[in-house]
Amino acid sequence: MGTTGFQNLVGAKHQSVWKLIRNMQQEVASDNTKLGQIRLGLVIKKKKVTTYANLQMRFKNLCSRFSGGQIDVVDFVRAIGHNIHLHR
């Protein structure tokens, strides 16, 4: 695990050893809970698809539709424009 991964695990750049131990205990407890749920046959909810993953799927579908001749270049560019949001 690199430095960034360690910082993400701990939650900050400079943490005490005690906070590290507490976070590791919470992580182990969470994993044990998930394992127990799996043993009971419960379905574990997966994380929701992020905004960027949704956007990537839309662009991929648009490219497939364009390359398949289902939409022309004007509709393709218009659809791309509708999916781009500028944040100011």
* 48-57 tens-digit pLDDT: 777 788 888 8
- Does 44 have pLDDT greater than 80? no
Average pLDDT for the chain: 82
Domain count, the chain: 2
62 within domain boundaries:
yes
59 within domain boundaries:
yes
45 within domain boundaries:
no
Q: Is-contact 62 76, C-beta < 8 A?
A: yes
What pTM did the predictor assign?
A: 0.44
CA-to-CA distance for 84 and 86, rounded, in angstroms?
7
88 within domain boundaries:
no
Best mean pLDDT range from 13-22, 47-56, 66-75: 66-75
The predicted structure's pLDDT at residue 25? 93
Domain ranges, residue 30? 3-39
58 within domain boundaries:
yes
If asked whether residues 34 and 60 sit together in one domain, one would say no
If asked whether residues 9 and 34 sit together in one domain, one would say yes
